[in-house]
Every structure is written in C-alpha cells, then in structure tokens.
A and B are shown apart, each in its own frame.
Chain A
Amino acid sequence: MNRADVRLLWSCVREYRGQVLVSILAGLVFQGASIVLPDLLKQGLDQGVVGGDRGSLVIWAVIVLVATLVSVGGLLGMLWSAVTYSTAAAGGLRERLLDHVLTLDRTADRFGAGDLAIRGTRDVDAVRAWLAGIASLVSGACGFVAIVVAIALLDPLLAVVGLAVVPLIALASIFYPKRLASVNADLSAAHGRRADAVENLLTGAESVRGLGAERVLVDVHHRDSAEVTTHTFRVARVAADWTALAPFIPAAGTAIGLAVGGPAVASGALSIGGLVAFTTWMTMLSGWIGMLTTRFTQVVQAMTAARRINEVLQAQPTVRDPAQPMPLPSRGALELRAVDLPGGTLSERVEAGEFVAVTGPLGSGKTRLTRLLCRLDDPAHGDVRYGEADLRTAELREVRQRITYVPQRPTMVSGTIAENLALGQPGRTLAELREACRGAAIDAEIESLPDGYETPVGERGSTLSGGQRQRLALARGMLAGAEVLVLDDVTSAVDIATERTMLANLRAWATKTATTVVFATHRSAVLEEADRVLRLPSPVRRDLVPTAGAVDG
C-alpha cells in the first residue's frame, strides 16, 4: 500500500466530499432502519403471537412498514448520490491522465499504447466502482457495529458469541485482501498484455496483412489469453476461499448461540422473539460481511488501479518547462552547439529567414535533428539555441509557438479537415484555411470533395492518403504563423509535380513572411530549392561508441 496511491484515491473523495457525505448519511439511515426491523418483528412476535394480543399485532405491523419505507428512502439517496459523484470523479481522473500524458515526452512510450488505454479505462473504472461503494462501505461498517450492540442488549452471553466471531472475521479480512491484491495485480497485467496483442493486430492492419503476419500475432494473443485464464483461476481460488469462509464464521456463531440461547429461553431469561431477532441479526451479520468483503475487494482493486494510474501520473518528462522560464528573443538564428548525432558531433547555425535543407544517409539522424530543433527531445550533450537563448530556458509552449514542427507521418484527430487545420488556433477564417491549403497544394483536392473543408478525416486521418496528410500538416504548419518551420520529409509521399508546386509556394510564402525553414529530406527537388544544404555524415559504427543510443540514448 503506497502512500501516493492512497493520496490519489483520497483526492477523488475530497473533491466530491459534499456528495460523498450525503451518500454516507443516506446510507446510515438505510442501515439504521434495516437493523431496527428485526427488533420490531421481535416485539410483534412476543406481544402479538406469543402473548396473543391481536391489537398490538396490527400496530407492530404498521411500524414495520414505516421502517421499511425509511430504509428504502435511505438506500435510494445513497445510490443516487454515489452514481453521480463516482462517474464525475472517474471522468475527472481520466482527464487528469490525459492532461498528464500530454505533458510527457518519449517517457510516455514506456507504456504500450494499449496498456495506456487500459489504464485510462479499466483502471479508472476500478476506482469508480470503489468510489461508488464508499457510502455502502462506511455505513455498512457502522451497521456492523450496531448489530453487535443490538445483540449485546438482547443477552450479554449471546453478545459474547457474536463478538467471538468478529476477530475471526477481521483476521480473514486482513489476510485475504493482501492475497487477492497480489493475484489481482497479475491478472490485470495479463489483461494488459493481451490488450497490447489485440492492439498490434488492429493498428497496423494494412502492414501486418500485406505480409500475412496476422497468424503470428493471433498466436501471440492466444498465448496471452491462456495466461489470462491461468491468472483468472488463481484469483478465483483465493476469492472462493474467502467467500466461503466469511459467512461460515457467523453461521457457526448462530449455531453456538442457539445452543447457548435455548436454555436461556427455557429459564425465561430470553424470549422466543429475542431468539429470532438474534438469528436474524446473525444472518444480517453474515450478509453485511459479504457486502463488506465485496467492498474491501473493490478497495484492493482500486489500490491496484491507483498504483497503475500513478505510474503514469508520476512519469516525469525530461523535456519540460524550466523552473523560471525566460522569454525567447524576438527573432534570431537557430543554432545547434556540439550536439551528438549518429555521424558525430554537430555544430550548425541557421540564420533567420534562411531556407536550409538537411540531408544524409539512412540513420544519420535527420529526424532526430528536427525533433531537437523544436524541443520534442533534448540533446544528451550540447544545446540548441534560438537567438542565443538555450531552448531549455524557455517555456515549452512558447518554443512550440515560435518553432513549428511538421513530422514525416503527421497524425490527425477525428473531426473535419477544417478542425484539423485550425488545431491550436481556433477562430481561423475559411479564407485563411484556403490560403494555407493553396500554399500546400491541396486546396483543389479539398474543394473537389462534396463537403469540402467540412469533410471528416476519420480516425487518425484514415480517409486521407499519406500524401494528403502531409500536405494538410504543412498547411497547418504554415497557418500557425511561427518564425521557424521545421519540416521532416513532408514531401516523401507526394508526386513530383505536386512537390514542385508545394516547394515554389513554400518558398514564396517563407520569403513573404520572413520565416526560417529547416527541411529534412532526401528529395532532390527540395535540395535544389534550398538556400543551403546541410549534409549529415554517415552514422559511425555504434559498436565503437557503445554509449550512444539510437534515438534518445
């Protein structure tokens, strides 16, 4: 049980403390009315049935009815409040996860995409289930104590029997949750691995199927699926031990209580109604313990989930905002100082307004270089400067406003073309979108679509071709109005005629807006268009420099 995990769960409760409190109070009303019912029935039995008084039979019957109504009212209040705050809190938690993931750099890749999804769905759901059950847990625990007290008031000897079972139950409630937590964590992990296997099958479908590799991935899935089964059985055995043992303890208590209580009735110390109330309460006790164990299981599952959620929330990016951010100079040269690339150390300066192409053989670090320039990664050695200021001293948000990056394989979010173009810059007019698209040589294609700029792009832009996505991303980059545009091979999937138009437009636009362009590429048309070509050397054999990693070291 980690302190941070407890804090995470507690923060969810604190945020909705008013509603949690209402839910608990309503739960207490429900408990109180339910527990007093056996006593009301006892009075009815003793005065009405055994005593033969017909009038009091009716009176007690009416009281029983009223108590039932109160108990139901409490139950409804408890559940209504619980569903409201637990769903809202779970949503808040998922939003926190998303917010945090969006501050991460490559550290986010440590979690598989499927696993990250599971943490935001299944694990958040586990926390939600626990939150929804808090009132039931707290009021149930109070009810539990109330029942023991009620038995004690009936006959002290019976209370001894009733209390004797409590430590046994407590012991079971300490031993089993621990056991269950460890087997449950294994089960969660197995589910996560299986989800990753499914994910691999679904996301790369085209590439996987082109080679006929589905079978290989299906076999991997089946292996993971078999493991899920093994862990499910293990959890089931532990859970079954617990479920079977938990109600047995009070049931055995009832049997012993009857052996003790029988003579008490015979000697007149206890009424028949009292004996009935005792067994009813003992039955309730076992029901309550069943409910409490379910709730404890949820606590355990929520702890496991909280740990997995915290792993994400506590992941710290290495690329992050400085403690005291300094504003970037208004305009200046982009400079690499002694930065490590696969081909060796590089120092290079790109003047403001310059159009520089970066090229080099496979693995020479073109992509790595472009990512350094807009601070998607930090260099292991050396630094990247804009107008003499180290990028690491400025706010990330500012760096990315001033230096726009367009990756080689741009992603999209689901929504329309217009929404994707104006990402991060709401309020752009259609005319502005058109102009940017004309620059990226994609305006005609968009306008030929029946819905034009309102055409949905599909998930991850799946309804667009790779070349169309590249040009839309370029249009988006131009629209951002940054001082520097860093492009990673954004013409790799377009034909030569289109490429020529794109380059001519890009050049005209860059000159007009005085934008600096850094363009990683191996296309000759780009190299010809550039003011200057920076050629990266071939990678040095990495076995000679064992410390340098492939991309992020």
Chain B
Amino acid sequence: MADQATTVDESVLEEAPSQRNLRARAWPHLRPHRRLIVIAVVVTALSTLALALIPPAIGWVTDVVLAGDRTGMLVAALAVLGLAVARMVLLRASEVLLVRAGERVVRQLRDLVVERLAGTALRFLERHRTGDLLRRVTSEVSDLAGFVRSDLPDLLAVVGYLTFSTIVLLLYSVPLTLLLALVFLPATVWLLRSFKRAAAPAFSAQAARQAEAAATYREGTEARELLQTTGAHDVIRDRLVEDHRRLVTAARHAQRVAFRSSAVTVVQGVADAVMLVAAGLLAVYGVISVGTVVVFVLAMRQLFSSVTQLTQLLTQMQTSRTAFARLLNLLAVTSDVPAPGAEPHAPVTPRRGELSADSVCFSYTEDAQVLHDVVVHFPSGDRVALAGPTGSGKTTLSKLLSGLYRPATGRIRYAGTDLREIPPAELRARIVLVPQQVHLITGTLADNLALVPGNPDRDELAGAVGALELQDWVAGLDNGLDTDLGARGARLSAGEQQLVALLRAALLDPAVLILDEATADIDPATAARIETAIDRLRGDRTLIVIAHRPATIERMRTVISLRGGRIEERSAG
C-alpha cells in the first residue's frame, strides 16, 4: 500500500501515450453495455446488407431488360425500391442504437474520470497544467462523444458493406472476384498499414500541439488583469502565435500521413481499368453475362468509394484513438483511487483522537527537501499555533497533517491509525483544512456554503452563520443567503471570501480543524471575533492555526515554531 501510494504520488501523465492494446484496455469499459452494443451492430449489419444487395438487383434488371421481359423489369425495379426502403428504416434504427450504446460508454468514462480526478492525490493535480487536464476531461471527451455520434456508425456501416459486397461478388464470379482481390488488396493493405504506422505518432503530435495552444490561450484569459496591469499582452500573445505556428506544422505533417490513404484511389483506378478489360473479355467470349459485368462495374465503384470512406474514417478514428488513449492513460495513472460507494463501512477511527506526525520528511522536487524529520503530537482538544517565517514549511505541514499530501518517509496518524488507511470520506470527517485561498463557485452564498459534505439544509446554514456571529454580514448582503456572489465569488472581497470558507468549516464537526492563514485577509476586529467563536464552538476538538498575525497566535495555548523545515521549539502561548 505504501509503495503504491508513492508511485501514484510521482506518476505523471504522458503527452502522447501508447495506443497498443487499446481495444483490450477499452473492453472493461464496454463490457457493461455489451448487449446494447451487439443489438446495435446487428441492426447496422442488416442495414448494410440491404445496401449491398442493390447492385445485384440492378444486375438482375439489366439481364431481364436484355431478355426483353417487361413484367420482370417492373418486378426487378420494385425489388430495388424495396431494398432502398429497407435500407432507410434500418439505417435510422442503426444510427440511433449506435449512439445510444456509444454515449452510454462515453458517459460512464467521463463520470469515472471525474471520480478519479476528485479522488487522486493533490500533488498529482498540482504537477499538471490545469488546461491540459481540463482538455483531456472536457473537449477530448466530447470529441470522443462526437466520434461515437457520427463516425462510429459510418465506420461500422462501411465495414459491413465491404464484407457483404465481397460475398455477393463471389456468388457471381469467383475468378473475377479473385482477380479483383489480387489487383486491389495487396497494394491497398500495404498502403493502409503504412498509413496506420505513421498515423499514431503524427496525430498524437497534432493533439499535443493543440492542447498546448489551448493551455496557453486559457492561461492568457485567466491572467487577464495581470497582463492588463503590466501591459504584457504580447508575452502571452507571442506564445500563442508560436504555439499556433507549431500546430500548423504538426497538422500539415498529419495531413501528409493521411495522403497515404488517398493513394488507395490510384490503386482503384488501376483495378477499374484491369476489370474493364478482364470482365469485358470474359463477356465477349461468353463466359459471363453482360449482367454480371454490370454488377461488377457497379459494385466495384461502391466498393471503392467505401474503401475511400473507410480510410477517411480511419483518419477520424485515429484522432479519437489518440484522445481515447490520453483518457485511458489518465485513468490508468489514477487507478489507485477507490471506487466510490465502496465506502460506507463502519468507521475505523473514533470521533475524537490525537493527531501525530513521526519523522516526517517531504520534498516537492528531488533536490530540495522542505520538511526534515518533523515529529509533532496534537492531543485531542489541543489549541496550537504553527508559527515561523515564510517558506519554513508551515503550509506543507498543514497539507500533510490533513492527509492532502503523503509524506515521503515517516507516518501521520490519527488516533493511532495511519491516515493512508482511513477511507477518504472518513478522513475528511475527522480532519478539515481551511487554506488561505478560497474556492468559490458561480452562484449564491447558499450554493457556496453547501459546498461541504452532508448536504446541509437552510437551518444548518443559518446555524453556522449564527455560530460565527456573522448574521450582520449576511443580512447586509443584497439577498442574504440567496445573494448572487458573481462569477467565482468575484463580488466578494478577499476577506469576505474567507468568511465563506470559515462558514463552510463551521458546518462540519471534525476532530481536527486546521486553519492555514484562514483569517489573514479579514480585518483584525472581525478576525478576533470569529477566532474566538471558532475556539468556543467545540471545546473538545483540536484546533491548529497557521498565522502570521501576532494576535491570532497569542490566542492559542501552545505555539510550535518551524524554521527551515524543522520544528524549532514548542512553547506555551
């Protein structure tokens, strides 16, 4: 377990992950929907069968026309019409069914990947650009959905059509079919294989360049005010222009690779010419009927356009395969995240308990260790301030103590149990961390307060507001709890945003509450009032406060000083 945890903490996503065994890796995600998939494929097969039977029906028309049979002509023409109707009905059913099956798979995948991102190590998220992760989970997933919606039905239709046409042609004339196969197959297969080989790296590179441009664009829009106030628009713009230049190069390379599939059309031209001569000679010598020649000429044209379509679809599929591989890579890297719902076990830890760190070391990069052999104990009900200069490792320690980071060596325990062995939901019920940076969602104050486990109702929200004596502040907002806070809480000041975070914490009853500069942006008078309220709120719980403000530190019973990643002293506050 410990080893596994370390590997996950260090794992990094690949830009262009391998596409080997993609089908085998996809199977577990397809399995739950196999019945629907089978039905969809069968209906698709029937719809392509109807299409494949149209040339023979026309061949039949030719023969009866040459025989001068007028009734036969009408019957044969009606057969063509009947096939067209069958094709229409079946095609519609097949498309709807395929999308139904495909979308179910994609939905399950996107829900799963979100579960994984929610459960994966915080360090994992911090190591990746949000833009890249977001692209994998949003636009690449919707690309995948798009493939399933439009390209997958076509792909199956073409494959089915090629199969049925071959069977029909064999029934008409084995030697001609063999000749066709001889002229057409080896060259086509060779071209398509060479295409496939070169396609994976070329399309991965294109996707990677695209993700890069998306990340830069996104970074630029998010750093808007910074760029405006520093007048540095050009820095990001130049990067975006450079990203785009590289994207064009990658796209052109990918297109050159795709041309290999267009070369198939040349082979088709050769086959056309050879067949005209061969079938023509056979008919001239009376070996086959003119009707058979017609069937071959017609079927071949459809066959060829199907192969061209197939190669185009393979190109599309390559893009989707790349996105799919990137998604599976994300799922594989985060595969240690337990499935949700498996949790409601009996709790493994008591409601209150001691939190302790033993010989804890931690580093972000290999060459710079942030914490050295930290040993510290917080008995139940303790009131501790963690003090120390900026960069002494206080915030890192708070993330370790709350289980958001895992120590490289050493142990963090709650009530004697290693944090790694406590199920995530239970861990969070025991230890809550309020960092300085507050995350607000676009919506009302109530929406934002409800961003805690346990689905609190209005009374509980009002209760928390009362407990922190913030009734006046809430009453002062436009609509009280229902005040719209704007995009990501933009209408609140930094201090007010911190009030929201503290209110959220007040809705919970953890054994250990860690406040990391959680009142730093609030004015001293209000901060003092709230800190006292939090202190009084639940006497038996452990409160760990990281602060620079002397008044905040003075309110704590004990002060632990950190310097250069080491515990320096522990004193009564």
Contact = CB atoms under 8 A, between A and B. Distances in A.
Interface in B489-509: 490-496, 499, 501, 504-505, 508
Given A95-B241, A424-B232, A549-B491, A201 B441 contact: no
A491 B294 CA distance: 86
Contacts of B81: 252, 255-256
Interface string B21-42: 0000000000000000000000
A54 B91 CA distance: 42
A400 B272 contact: no
Most B CB within 10 A of own CB, among A58, A79, A414, A445: A414
Interface string B254-287: 1100110011011011101110110111011000
Contact of B280 (A49, A400, A412): A49
B477 A542 contact: yes
Contacts of B100: 233, 236
B323 interface: no
Interface string B224-253: 111111111101110011001101100110
B354 interface: no
Contact of B391 (A69, A255, A409, A468): A468
A255 B76 CA distance: 9
Interface in A98-129: 98-99, 101-102, 104, 106, 108-114, 116-118, 120-122, 125
Contacts of A256: 77, 81
Nearest to B305: A287
Interface in A202-247: 202-218, 221-222, 225-226, 228-229, 232-233, 235-237, 239-241, 243-245, 247
Given A212-B425, A279-B58, A243 B95 contact: yes
Given A41-B297, A460-B222, A539-B476, A408 B95 contact: no
Given A84-B248, A229-B107, A215 B74 contact: no
A201 to B, nearest CB: 6
Contacts of A116: 218, 221
Q: Which 8 A-B pairs have the closest CB atoms?
A: A204-B439, A68-B269, A212-B428, A91-B244, A210-B433, A236-B99, A240-B95, A424-B230
Given A206-B437, A462-B126, A397 B231 contact: yes
Given A125-B139, A211-B434, 18 more contacts: A49-B280, A75-B262, A87-B247, A98-B240, A99-B237, A113-B222, A120-B221, A205-B126, A211-B501, A229-B103, A239-B150, A241-B92, A272-B294, A413-B236, A493-B517, A495-B388, A498-B389, A550-B478
Contact of A61 (B103, B265, B274, B294): B274
A194 interface: yes
B117 interface: yes
Contacts of B387: 495
27 contacts: A54-B284, A61-B274, A68-B266, A72-B265, A75-B265, A87-B247, A87-B248, A102-B221, A102-B224, A201-B114, A206-B399, A207-B439, A216-B453, A222-B114, A236-B95, A262-B77, A280-B297, A283-B302, A287-B305, A359-B523, A413-B219, A449-B368, A463-B364, A492-B520, A495-B387, A495-B388, A550-B486
Contacts of B245: 91
Given A210-B434, A411-B226, A68 B268 contact: yes
Contact of B402 (A84, A210, A221, A499): A210
A471 B453 CA distance: 36
A263 B70 contact: yes
B214 A360 contact: no
A411 B125 CA distance: 18
Contacts of B436: 466, 493
Interface residues of B, number: 180
Interface in A467-500: 467-468, 476, 480, 489, 492-499
Contacts of A363: 473, 476, 493, 495-496
A111 B486 CA distance: 11
Contacts of A509: none
Interface in B64-113: 64-66, 68, 70, 73-74, 76-78, 80-81, 83-85, 87-89, 91-92, 95-96, 99-100, 103-104, 107, 110-111
Given A117-B214, A208-B439, A362-B526, A265 B226 contact: no
B177 interface: no
B46 interface: no
B135 interface: yes
Contacts of B125: 202, 205
Given A211-B428, A217-B451, A362-B496, A255 B80 contact: yes
Contacts of A147: none
A220 to B, nearest CB: 9
Contacts of B281: 54, 57
A121 B139 contact: yes
Interface string A352-364: 0000000111111
A551 B475 contact: no
A203 B134 CA distance: 10
A48 interface: yes
A530 interface: no
Contacts of A528: none
B217 interface: yes
Contact of A108 (B78, B224, B270, B477): B224
Given A244-B88, A279-B58, A468-B391, A214 B118 contact: yes
A103 to B, nearest CB: 8
B334 interface: no
Most B CB within 10 A of own CB, among A251, A401, A411: A251
B374 interface: no
A246 B97 CA distance: 19
Contact of B432 (A212, A237, A265): A212
Given A57-B280, A83-B252, A551 B272 contact: no
B493 A215 contact: no
Nearest to A30: B265
A438 to B, nearest CB: 16
A191 interface: yes
B16 interface: no
A498 B251 CA distance: 51
B566 interface: no
Most A CB within 10 A of own CB, among B224, B283, B305, B475: B224
Contact of A465 (B83, B222, B391): B391
Contacts of B58: 254, 258, 279
A45 interface: yes
A359 B525 CA distance: 12
B104 to A, nearest CB: 8
A57 B277 contact: yes
B548 to A, nearest CB: 5
A272 B65 contact: yes
Interface string B474-490: 01111000010011101
B290 A459 contact: no
A367 interface: yes
Given A213-B452, A459-B130, A251 B269 contact: no
Nearest to B132: A459
B251 A245 contact: no
B422 interface: no
Most B CB within 10 A of own CB, among A262, A263, A552: A262
Given A57-B281, A243-B95, A259-B73, A203 B138 contact: no
B534 to A, nearest CB: 14
Nearest to A52: B284
B567 interface: no
B122 interface: yes
A254 B107 contact: no
B276 A550 contact: no
A200 interface: yes
A232 B99 contact: yes
A364 B213 CA distance: 41
A252 B122 CA distance: 61
B229 A376 contact: yes
A110 B487 contact: yes
Given A221-B114, A233-B100, A236-B99, A495 B266 contact: no
